[in-house]
Amino acid sequence: MYWRFIIRFLLLTVGFALTTLGLLSWQLSHFDLVTMWPISDRFQWHPVYAMVVGLALIPPTLWEIFVLEHPAGPNQQSVGEQPTTDTTNHA
């Protein structure tokens, strides 16, 4: 369980880092959109791509952290747990 938290928080850190990198890099290019859609020229990296990937990582990673912190109730199965089968005879 400890490693799951570490992996999720590392993914969250990567998401925020990519968003920040994209925003700061885009600011350095004066918020230019010329190379964003490579229609006739060869493909070039654009800072918006890093922002999109970073923003796409944040919500699902936060959801996974919330699920790990608040397990399911007594009648519900927690995420990641195997279903248990009761093999005892209740006759």
Q: For the full predicted model, state whether its pTM sits above 0.85.
A: no
For residue 25, what pLDDT is reported? 94
Residue 66 Ramachandran class (φ > 0 left, ψ -120 to 50 alpha, else beta): alpha
pLDDT at 78 over 60: no
For residue 80, what pLDDT is reported? 58
pLDDT in tens, 6-52: 999 999 999 999 999 999 999 998 998 887 887 767 778 899 999 99
3-class secondary-structure state, position 36: coil
pLDDT at 79 over 60: no
Contact (CB, 8 A) for 58 and 19? yes
